[in-house]
Amino acid sequence: MSSRFDQSEIHTTLRESVRTWAHQNLEPGASMRDETEFFDVSLFRRLTTELGITGSTLPESLGGAGLDEAAPVILIETLAEVDPAFSMSYLAQELLFTHQLWRTWELSGQKMPASHDEVLRSHPIAGMGMTEPDAGTDVLGMKTTAERQDDGTFIINGTKQWITNAPVGDAFLVYARTGEGRRDISLFLIKSTDSGFMRGTPEKKMGMRSSPTGSLTFTQCRVPADRLVGNLHEGLRPMLRNLAIERLGLAAESCGLAKTCLDIMIAYMRERHAFGKPISDFGQIQRIVSECYAKYRASRCFLYETLEDLIDGKPRASIDADAVKLCCSEMGEFVSRSAIQVLGANGYSRAYPVERLHRDAVLLSIGGGTNEALQKNLSRLI
């Protein structure tokens, strides 16, 4: 049965099948992968072989499922209920690479080159390079350059940092400056085998530890002319369009991990006894849990309302995507921290997953545009 969160039977079936798969395959090793900072490549590739959920928004002619943009958001939320780090790597591949590559060509009005079609059909582990050591949220401050040569090829120089899937990726979409103008930015398809391109080692992080993050370095990296994605100097338009769906994906991660934290604290308060009665009888616990429930429900409704507006092309959807990401990421941190408090020492220990989920939640107020930057955007645009 469909619901306000699943607008079709396909969405409902998709959510249920992924939730079952995640509990059977992701949940047993989630803590181990976090502790050892291990990205399980074979498990990640099973998303394609067993679930077929890579390329969910691609048309069937490109080997995709032909679903709307609600599908990857539903998938990201559902995976994050069990393992937000795994979900983050999926988000980077599905929204920041696969969907972005296809969508950029669609917006450009040009036909996608056969070489790009081939990459999409291979379902690579992939990511997107936008952030740099000195340019994060300020994307127009990027310094990576791509200079066009007489033979049409491009020479790329520069460094991208904090890139999800960088240490393990097969392919990346990378933004680079291609002209003198501040907005002269273009998008390129990069393969891990390209000469002059190097993937960095995994960063040591507080959370999302089994989702590898690293740098991408370009030193006289030569790429053929057909690796330009879309039109020259016109990378900003698809970038800004994709930032909206990325932020909804990050908000969905917050909702997914918050649901698990809420489920755990509700069960715990009913089972745990103190002073001869369940702790659910104490007003302090009732306040914490009820506030978490209300914030979670309100945030999730906001997420799916905005997602529907984005799909329908409503003009305020991109503004609300900023607000949703701000709202949901703060909610995720609040709910996960509250779960630790309700569980006490058990929450602070690794006996329950809430401490891992809280560490994962912190990134969601930083990645995809910091909450402070979103506040600045919203105060200007609302």
Residue 353, φ and ψ in degrees, nearest 5:
-80, 0
pLDDT of residue 63: 87
Average the pLDDT over 162-186 and give the result.
96
Q: If you average pLDDT over residues 75-89, what whole number do you get?
A: 98
User: Using CA of residue 247, residue 251, residue 254, residue 260, what is the dihedral sign?
Assistant: negative
CATH of the domain at 325: 1.20.140.10
Q: Which of 193, 208, 233 is the C-terminal boundary of a domain? A: 233
What's the gap between Cα 151 and its chain centre? 37
pLDDT of residue 1: 42
106 is catalytic: no
The answer to whether residues 47 and 109 belong to one domain is yes
Residues 63 and 108 in one domain: yes
Q: Are residues 304 and 355 in the same domain?
A: yes
How many whole angstroms separate alpha carbon 44 and alpha carbon 28? 15
Percentages (nearest 5) of helix, strand, coil residues in the chain = 55, 15, 30
pLDDT at 305 over 70: yes
Same domain? 216 vs 242: no
Query: Has residue 94 got a pLDDT over 80?
Result: yes
Last residue of a domain, one of 93, 121, 149: 121
Q: How many CB atoms lie within 10 A of CB 308?
A: 16
Residue 114's domain comprises: 9-121
Q: Residue 19: name the closest of 64, 51, 65 by CA.
A: 51
If one counts the domains in the chain, the total is: 3
Residue 1 lies in a domain: no
Query: Residue 197 is part of a domain; what is its CATH number?
Result: 2.40.110.10
**pLDDT value, residue 237:** 87
Same structural domain, 257 and 316: yes
Together in a domain, 210 and 75: no
Residues sharing a CB contact under 8 Å with residue 174, sequence separation 6 or more, in sequence order: 128, 129, 130, 144, 156, 160, 187, 188, 190, 216, 218
Give yes or no: residues 155 and 287 share one domain. Answer: no
Question: Which one of 246, 253, 333, 355 is the catalytic residue?
Answer: 246
Judge residue 380's burial from the number of C-beta atoms within 10 Å of its C-beta, 0-12 exposed, 13-18 middle, 19 or more buried.
exposed
**4, part of any domain:** no
- Examine residue 106 and state whether it is found in any structural domain, yes or no: yes
* Last residue of one domain, picked from the residues 193, 215, 233: 233
Listed in sequence order, the residues at least 6 apart from 238 whose beta carbon sits closer than 8 Å to its beta carbon are: 100, 103, 104, 107, 108, 187, 230
pLDDT in tens, 9-30: 999 999 999 999 999 999 999 9
Residue 221 has pLDDT above 80, yes or no: yes
pLDDT in tens, 32-80: 999 999 999 999 999 999 999 999 999 998 889 999 999 999 999 999 9
Secondary structure E strands in 225-360: 228-229, 273-274, 277-278
Residues 61 and 112 in one domain: yes
Co-location of 194 and 315 in the same domain: no
Residues 375 and 244 in one domain: yes
CATH of the domain at 106: 1.10.540.10
Same domain, 167 and 265: no
Whether residue 2 is predicted with pLDDT greater than 60 in this model: the reply is no
Instruction: With respect to residue 140, please indicate whether it lies within any of the assigned structural domains.
Output: yes
Over residues 351-362, the pLDDT tens digits come to 999 999 999 999
Confidence of residue 5 (pLDDT cuts 50, 70, 90): confident
Terminal-residue alpha carbon distance, the chain: 36
Instruction: Name which of 142-151, 162-171, 233-242, 267-276 the model is least confident about.
Output: 233-242
Determine which helix (DSSP H) or strand (DSSP E) holds 146, and give its type and residue range. strand 145-148
Mean pLDDT over 214-241 rounds to 95
Predicted TM-score (pTM) of this structure = 0.96
